[in-house]
Amino acid sequence: MEFLKKIFGTRPSIDLKRLVDNGAVIVDVRSKAEYQSGHIAGSINIPVDVIAGQLSRIPKGKPIITCCASGMRSASAKSILMSNGFEEVYNGGGWFGLQNKIN
């Protein structure tokens, strides 16, 4: 098993609920219409296609959890945030699954 961990680089899973309980900010990167059809209470909606121009809406110094419908756009958003100086950013995947993990 240790051999497989070395090959595939598995890391311990992140406790997203603990992060949220300790003040992490959830950034939902779906479109406005998608967000309005359902979202995590307290999350910030900044679509991935405009996130680079709206970085000032995201607090620095706090953990950030990105989410979308499936995890693809949130992975892109994570990369954008990391390349713009946000240090602790996690891809929370799909918003519905993330909601189930943190509640």
pLDDT of residue 4: 46
Query: In angstroms, what CA-CA distances link 8 with 1, 2, 4, 11?
Result: 11, 10, 6, 9
Instruction: Give Dmax (Cα) for the chain.
Output: 45
pLDDT tens digits for range 56-79: 999 999 999 999 999 999 999 999
- Asked, for residue 10, whether it belongs to a domain, the answer is no
| pLDDT tens digit sequence for 17-52 | 999 999 999 999 999 999 999 999 999 999 999 999
Which CATH number covers residue 95?
A: 3.40.250.10
What range defines the domain where residue 34 resides?
15-102
Q: Is the pLDDT of residue 2 over 70?
A: no
Nearest to 77, CA basis, from 51, 57, 54, 42: 51
pLDDT for the residue 14: 87
In a domain, 6, yes or no: no
Is 95 a domain residue? Answer: yes
Q: What total number of domains does the chain contain? A: 1
Residue 96 confidence class, pLDDT cut points 50, 70, 90: very high
Cβ atoms of residues 30 and 93 within 8 Å: no
Distance spanning both ends of the chain, measured CA to CA = 32
